[in-house]
């Protein structure tokens, strides 16, 4: 399945409008007014809250009209620069987690039922374990939802972090007291607490969360917001923050059919920063919310830094070095090597999500409907080959192809297509293309730092 990204509609609507103004040699009140009219419609269609749209347009209009143009920029480029700055300001500062306290740092995760709190707890734990080498303990106080505690236990194991057991017969406050005691005794860096939710804010839920918060005194209380529910979710966040103030927001399910308005509205409405985005179903599909990078994506300028970080976290550089040494030693690139690279790509996740982070490439591949299914086909074909065929692709004739197609459950045309792709890559490597890829990867890594 190809996921529709949260900002796609907004990007598509703005790209043509901003591209037109970017090429203008002169900015007039008339063409600025017309551009902002289209921008206003685009923001409203993206489900940005009306007061935020009004504030955005009004503030930007004051900055651009009568603005002295930087000599190094064209008037159109100056417009884009100021527009980018206004987007960043609207989404708030880059406010990362505050863990600067005597261990364990306690993170309380709150929100309505069904927004993905439990999954986020495990994702956050995995993120802190992998990225910051923290010792993590999770605990669930959701004694109401069937199998909620077991779900967190399973997800914590998958995330390679520790879980504190509890059961439905315990009081939530007693659960967190015991979990905190263990976290202190066993020197955990972070305790992440999952709480129960309701279909809507009610008195019982608020009383329970207040009691848990009073016991734990968390350094961070994160409100999970379902990006797909738009303005309703933002209104809920505002009401929740009024009763129990939180320190930050998590935009969850941003890989779905959300229109992006929540990202541009919630900080302005609640006054609280967005700290993370949930970008998919897998345990590592979580991103720190960087307003500058998000603004860059919205304006179609890509997000190279996030792309590099994603590659570094999921790509096995040891495999790359092994292949580089093999090629340098004069050995041919074969289907065994190709299979390793295919599996590396599968680890990267959805191809479209990577393409959208490359400047200029997003528009070029806007109609691309490729996903992991094609990669799975390729892997199935190679798995149907004999060891000899993988090592020496040149021995594969028509009779071999028929057997391979039957073994993989695909057509002979699919086998032919894979072999053709393989031969192109093989030729590229022979001409030194692989070394160029390695150099570019190292250069991009240096750029990030």
> Has 42 been labeled as part of a binding site?
no
* C-beta separation of 264 from 42 below 8 A: no
Q: Quote the Cα angle for 253-255-256, to 5°.
A: 75
> Has 268 been labeled as part of a binding site?
no
Instruction: Compute the chain's Rg from CA coordinates.
Output: 25
Residues forming beta bridges with residue 248, ordered by sequence position: 222
> Has 447 been labeled as part of a binding site?
no
> Has 74 been labeled as part of a binding site?
no
- Beta-carbon contacts of 316 under 8 Å, excluding residues fewer than 6 positions away, are 344
> Has 253 been labeled as part of a binding site?
yes
Q: How many contiguous H segments (helices) and E segments (strands) does the chain have? A: 21, 8
Per-residue burial over 255-275, b = 16 or more CB atoms within 10 Å of its CB, e = otherwise: beebbbbbbbbbbbbbebbbb
> Has 261 been labeled as part of a binding site?
no
> Has 250 been labeled as part of a binding site?
no
Handedness of CA 31, 266, 104, 128 (dihedral sign): negative
* C-beta separation of 248 from 222 below 8 A: yes
What's the distance, Cα to Cα, between the start and end of the chain in Å?
34
Residue in 88, 180, 191 with CA at minimum distance from that of residue 136: 191
In the block, residue with structure tokens 């956050």: 124
> Has 247 been labeled as part of a binding site?
no
> Has 118 been labeled as part of a binding site?
yes
> Has 413 been labeled as part of a binding site?
no
> Has 92 been labeled as part of a binding site?
no
Residue in 318, 350, 324, 309 with CA at minimum distance from that of residue 444: 309
> Has 116 been labeled as part of a binding site?
yes
> Has 135 been labeled as part of a binding site?
no
Binding-site residues for GTP sit at 111-118, 194-198, 252-255
Binding-site residues sit at 111-118, 194-198, 252-255
């Amino acid at each position: 399945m190809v996921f529709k990204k949260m900002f796609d509609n907004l990007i598509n609507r703005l790209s043509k409008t901003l591209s037109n103004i970017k090429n203008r040699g002169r900015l007039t009140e008339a063409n600025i007014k017309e551009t902002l009219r289209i921008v206003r419609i685009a923001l409203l269609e993206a489900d940005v809250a009306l007061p935020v749209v009004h504030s955005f347009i009004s503030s930007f209009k004051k900055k651009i009209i009568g603005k002295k143009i930087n000599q190094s920029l064209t008037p159109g480029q100056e417009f884009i620069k100021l527009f980018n700055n206004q987007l960043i300001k609207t989404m708030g500062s880059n406010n990362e987690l505050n863990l600067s306290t005597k261990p364990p740092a306690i993170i309380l995760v709150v929100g309505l039922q069904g927004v993905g709190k439990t999954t986020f707890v495990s994702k956050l734990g995995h993120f802190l374990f992998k990225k910051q080498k923290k010792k993590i303990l999770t605990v669930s106080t959701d004694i109401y939802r069937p199998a909620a505690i077991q779900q967190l236990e399973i997800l914590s194991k998958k995330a390679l972090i520790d879980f504190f057991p509890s059961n439905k017969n315990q009081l939530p406050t007693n659960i967190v007291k015991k979990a905190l005691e263990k976290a202190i005794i066993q020197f955990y860096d972070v305790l992440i607490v999952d709480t129960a939710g309701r279909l809507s804010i009610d008195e019982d839920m608020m009383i329970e969360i207040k009691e848990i918060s009073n016991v734990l005194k968390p350094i961070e209380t994160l409100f999970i917001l379902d990006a797909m529910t738009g303005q309703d979710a933002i209104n809920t966040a505002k009401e929740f923050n009024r009763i129990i103030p939180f320190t930050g927001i998590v935009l969850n399910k941003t890989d779905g059919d959300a229109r992006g308005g929540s990202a541009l509205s919630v900080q302005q409405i609640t006054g609280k920063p967005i700290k993370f985005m949930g970008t998919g179903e897998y345990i590592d599909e979580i991103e720190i919310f960087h307003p500058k990078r998000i603004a860059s994506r919205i304006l179609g300028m890509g997000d190279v830094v996030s792309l590099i970080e994603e590659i570094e976290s999921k790509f096995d550089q040891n495999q790359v070095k092994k292949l580089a040494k093999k090629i340098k030693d004069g050995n041919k690139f074969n289907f065994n090597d190709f299979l390793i690279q295919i599996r590396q790509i599968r680890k990267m996740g959805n191809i479209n999500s990577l393409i959208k982070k490359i400047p200029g490439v997003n528009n070029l591949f806007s109609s691309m409907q490729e996903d992991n299914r094609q990669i799975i086909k390729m892997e199935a074909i190679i798995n149907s080959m004999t060891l000899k065929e993988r090592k020496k692709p040149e021995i594969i004739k028509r009779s071999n192809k028929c057997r391979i197609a039957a073994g993989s459950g695909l057509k002979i045309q699919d086998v032919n297509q894979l072999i053709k792709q393989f031969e192109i890559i093989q030729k590229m490597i022979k001409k030194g293309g692989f070394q160029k890829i390695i150099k570019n990867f190292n250069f991009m890594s240096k750029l990030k730092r």
